[in-house]
Amino acid sequence: MADFFASPGLLIALIGGAATSVLLEQLLTPAPMLRRPIASWLLHFGIWLLAFCFEMSLFQRPWFAAAFVLAFLLFVVLVSNAKFGSLREPFIFSDFEYFTDALRHPRLYIPFLGWWRAALALAGFIAAVWIGLAFEAPLTRQLGVATFYQGVGWIALCGAGLVTLGAWALGPASFKPVEDLRRMGLIGSLWRYMAAELKPIDHAALQAVLNAAPPLAAKPNIVVVQSESFFDVRRLYSGIERKVLQQWDRLQRDSLQHGRLQVAAWGANTVRTEFSFLSGLETGALGVHQFNPYRQLARAGIATLASHLREQGYRTVCVHPYPASFYNRHIVFPLMGFDEFIDIEKFDIADKAGPYIGDVAVAEKIAALIDSITQPLFIFAITMENHGPLHWEKLTPDERKQHFGEAPPAGCDDLAVYLRHLANADKMAGMLRDHLAASPSPAWLCFYGDHVPIMADVYAQLGEPDGTTDYVIWSNRQDAEKSQTRDLGVAELAGTLLEHVRGTQQKNT
């Protein structure tokens, strides 16, 4: 055993790699505090030892093992910084799932990481493999297989001991990612979030908000549109022509209620807003599950607007012009009360408006459903057209001027692209309003944005929006009362919609 620990380069690789991991962690934005609880350092170095031993057990080369682990850590740091730059949130444990999603849907992720970051991370891995395999002989040649793996086992045992002590002593997470990263460090915060996900879900703490709502006396058709990156961007820049949202303005004027919507996401993470709307649950009540409720929470039988309406005889349909497997919606949506999921397979390539299926095609699909199904219908549409990366789309000289009464500052091309698609979202809102207005059956329309778009360069020129989106609640059977303006949190929106439906029915009886 003494021969193992006296091996040339082993202790240097082990200790030097651990020290380098601390330096790499300081490249994070925001950077973790060096003066942090000792428990977080125990976790940091314990995980380092375990990862080092894993690579050692595979390749028997200490320098290779250290370089490979450091290359992976560098990759996580680069991803975290890219995420923070776009979404104002660092890397968290549930984000590991997006690594496989990035392989299946690279256009949604790689552009935000940036090709140079991806190339740098790839270069790091290639360099680690090259250094390890070309310049380092395996220690098993010098020590024998038994001695080598005994030594690795002792290091792993030390690592496991540090992790056990650190996990026991480290305090709970706040589930405020920036705060937890700074206080616990990257590895400590990842560990705490992982441990929280593994705990049993406390169903008693999650009140069935929507199941507690009284049933509807009548059964009007209900259409809800969660519009990708929709918000009234005219608040951001006064030079945008008002008519870009003329149908939206008309819908607001004729609505029962409209206003700003405090959503559960910034720039991405649509499912946070989506689940909060459907469940009526505040994100703060979800603990670690607020970051991706479809990983575990949605599979646990949480009551939703869809299940509430299905119990009353509604046909519940989700329309989402993207693969149903994304975010595992094909698994969780039936558990959340949806009878049918219409995904990208039911659309044609001609339906695209840019890289994604257009909002007009989704509106046409909704109209066809309303005309073809005779039982009460609840449609929940999740649009895709205005999904980024906006900076990957091209503009003609005319499009740079379109929708602007006054040209924006240089560096605002993403805004022009966004307005191109926002105009189609506006058209969708008008199409649905007109179709439902002509319908002989009572019908309701709720239209809202899931989050503001990612436009970092634009915000650098014009200032960041406050993160709120916009919503409207409209009915084809409402009276001539003036529309109520009221700001809401997204968890309140479904309940407010049901209150209006019941209230209108009571007035008409």
| pLDDT digit string, tens, across residues 49-100 | 999 999 999 988 898 899 889 989 988 998 899 899 989 999 999 999 887 7
pLDDT at 102: 66
pLDDT level of residue 383 (50, 70, 90 thresholds): very high
| pLDDT digit string, tens, across residues 297-340 | 988 878 899 999 999 999 999 999 999 999 999 999 999 999 99
Q: Give yes or no for residue 200 having a pLDDT over 70.
A: yes
Whole-angstrom Cα Rg for the chain: 26
| Phi and psi angles of residue 476, each rounded to the nearest 5 degrees, phi first | -85, 5
Q: What type of residue is 174?
A: S
Domain 224-507 has CATH 3.40.190.10: no
Element (H, E) at 449: strand 443-449
d(CA 319, CA 366): 8
| Phi and psi angles of residue 470, each rounded to the nearest 5 degrees, phi first | -135, 155
User: What pTM, to 2 d.p., does this model score?
Assistant: 0.92
pLDDT at 211: 62
Q: What percent of the chain has pLDDT over 70?
A: 91
d(CA 305, CA 338): 10
Mean pLDDT across 245-262: 97
Task: Tell me whether residue 62 is exposed, middle or buried, using C-beta atoms within 10 angstroms of its C-beta: 0 to 12, 13 to 18, 19 or more.
Answer: buried
Q: Give yes or no for residue 115 having a pLDDT over 70.
A: no
Domain ranges of the chain: 2-198, 224-507
Report strand pairing: 340-342 vs 469-475.
Answer: unpaired
| pLDDT digit string, tens, across residues 160-179 | 999 999 999 999 999 999 99
Contact indicator for 203, 231 with CB cutoff of 8 Å? no
pLDDT level of residue 503 (50, 70, 90 thresholds): confident
Contact indicator for 450, 274 with CB cutoff of 8 Å? yes
Tokens encoding 54: 């894993």
Q: Give yes or no for residue 207 having a pLDDT over 60.
A: no
Q: Helix H segments across 358-396?
A: 359-372
pLDDT level of residue 104 (50, 70, 90 thresholds): confident
Contact indicator for 441, 377 with CB cutoff of 8 Å? no
Task: Tell me whether residue 502 is exposed, middle or buried, using C-beta atoms within 10 angstroms of its C-beta: 0 to 12, 13 to 18, 19 or more.
Answer: middle
Residue 372 DSSP code: H
Tokens encoding 298: 């949605």
Q: What percent of the chain has pLDDT over 90?
A: 70
Residue 145 or 256, more confident: 256
pLDDT level of residue 257 (50, 70, 90 thresholds): very high
| pLDDT digit string, tens, across residues 448-477 | 999 999 999 999 999 999 999 999 999 998
pLDDT level of residue 355 (50, 70, 90 thresholds): very high
Contact indicator for 167, 35 with CB cutoff of 8 Å? no
Terminal-residue alpha carbon distance, the chain:
87
Q: Is the peptide bond before 30 cis (omega within 30 degrees of 0)?
A: yes
d(CA 225, CA 425): 10
Contact indicator for 427, 358 with CB cutoff of 8 Å? no
Q: Give yes or no for residue 276 having a pLDDT over 70.
A: yes
How far, CA to CA in Å, does 2 sit from each of 7, 152, 399? Answer: 9, 12, 72
pLDDT level of residue 111 (50, 70, 90 thresholds): low
Q: Give yes or no for residue 507 having a pLDDT over 70.
A: no
Tell me the pLDDT of the chain averaged across its residues: 90
Q: Give yes or no for residue 203 having a pLDDT over 90.
A: no
